[in-house]
Amino acid sequence: METTETPALEISGLRRTYGTGETAYEAVRGVDLRVERGTVVALLGTNGAGKTSTMEVVEGLAAASGGAVRVFGLDPIADRSETRRRTGVVLQQSGFSGDLSVGETLEMEAATVTDPRPVAEVLTLVDLDHRIDTRVLSLSGGERRRLDLACALLGRPELLMLDEPTTGLDPESRRRVWDLVRDLRADGCAVLLTTHYLDEAEELADRVSIMHAGRIVREGTVAEVVAHQPSTIRYVGPDGEPVVQETDDLQGSLTELLTWAAQHGVRLERLDARSASLESTFLALAQEPEGVTR
């Protein structure tokens, strides 16, 4: 039964295997993930980590080999009509006929949706009003991406799945997409987002899940995810050799280093001290061999 507490999306123990026998390859190896209503969750991972394979099961385009996916408590394949009606999907690459205009594309899309928003309303949402008569062929990359979003928003989705929504966009278009996602979240929409841009995850996501080799290796708010990762101090020592020092207590270690330098009259060239960032955490996790989790 769906209650107000039912999460928009709940994935438990998800597995997905391609092929059979000797050549079988397990792309998703027991993924757990939860997206609450009115929150944005970013699924991060290197290429081949299994993000898209996971998304396809959530979208109902592929069956799971094991585990379960529940969208508003429903099965995306068995309860197809209900889940499709309530979800919106933006795929990694746009899929449009170049010879249709923006308006014609949305008119077609609206016919496939149970309770569509008016086309004009959606165009305003994504700021494409002035392009209604333009053929898709003539749109810029950013505009085309916003048309993708417009199609996904036509059905007033309660769960939006965005697969790398801002890849290839200029900074201004990215900002616009971010603002739109924030507005949707404020309206109670749940968003599952995959991205290559760690700043995007930091900007938008309430929680992040880092995926590596088919597993979620770290999950939490950005602060929680970063907390496990050591801070780094770098400088060029008096002998001219670069030094990199990792520490769990940045302030303590830095005080120690600076005191020592002051006492010995040593100048630390190119001194740089920084807390762990989502980026350093991500890179550290992505470099770990398969099967290592922390």
Partner 1 sequence: MTTLTLTPTSPAVRRTAGLAKANARLMLRNRLNLAYGFVLPLIPLAFLLAGDRGDVGTAGMSLVTVVVMAALFPVFYNILSMTVTRRDELVLKRIRTGETRDLELLTSLALPGVVVAMIVGVAAIPVALALGAPTPVNLPLFVLTVLVASLVFVVLAFWTAAWTKNAEAAQITSLPIIMLAVVGQMALGFPEEVRRWVDLTPGAAITDLVRTSWLGLEGTSTDPTLGFGETWAAAGQPLLVLAAWAALAAWLAARSMRWEPRS
Considering only CA atoms, give the Rg of the chain.
23
Q: Which of 107, 183, 187, 224 binds partner 1 (CB under 8 A)?
A: 107
Give dist(CA 47, CA 196) in Å, integer: 9
In the complex, the smallest distance separating the C-beta of residue 118 from partner 1, rounded to whole angstroms, is 15
DSSP code at position 277: -
Residues in the chain: 294
Q: Can residue 40 be called a binding residue for partner 1 (CB under 8 A)? A: no
DSSP 175-244: HHHHHHHHHHHHTT-EEEEE-S-HHHHHHH-SEEEEEETTEEEEEE-HHHHHHTSPEEEEEE-TTS-EEE
Near partner 1 by CB under 8 A, which window of 36-44, 91-99, 214-222, 237-245?
A: 91-99
In the complex, the smallest distance separating the C-beta of residue 97 from partner 1, rounded to whole angstroms, is 6
Residues in contact with partner 1, total (CB under 8 A)?
A: 27
> Judged by CB, which is closer to partner 1: 89, or 169?
89
Give dist(CA 160, CA 210) in Å, integer: 19
> Judged by CB, which is closer to partner 1: 95, or 289?
95
Structure tokens that stand for 288 in this block = 């770990």
> Judged by CB, which is closer to partner 1: 110, or 268?
110
Site string for partner 1, 154-183 (x = CB under 8 A): -x----------------------------
Q: Which of 29, 84, 146, 174 binds partner 1 (CB under 8 A)?
A: 84
In the complex, the smallest distance separating the C-beta of residue 186 from partner 1, rounded to whole angstroms, is 25
Q: Can residue 94 be called a binding residue for partner 1 (CB under 8 A)? A: yes
Q: Can residue 235 be called a binding residue for partner 1 (CB under 8 A)? A: no
Residues 6+ apart with CB under 8 A from 201: 42, 44, 193, 195, 208, 222, 278
The answer to whether 13 and 47 are in contact (CB under 8 A) is no
Q: Can residue 96 be called a binding residue for partner 1 (CB under 8 A)? A: yes
Phi and psi at 270, nearest 5°, equal: 50, 45
Residues linked to residue 183 through DSSP beta bridges, in sequence order: none
Q: What residues from 242 to 281 belong to the interface with partner 1 (CB under 8 A)?
A: none
In the complex, the smallest distance separating the C-beta of residue 110 from partner 1, rounded to whole angstroms, is 7
Structure tokens that stand for 191 in this block = 């968003």
Give dist(CA 37, CA 268) in Å, integer: 50
Q: Can residue 190 be called a binding residue for partner 1 (CB under 8 A)? A: no
Q: Which of 1, 78, 111, 186 binds partner 1 (CB under 8 A)?
A: 111
> Judged by CB, which is closer to partner 1: 94, or 245?
94
Q: Which residues lie near partner 1 (CB under 8 A)?
A: 59, 61, 81, 84-85, 89, 91, 93-100, 104-105, 107-114, 151, 155
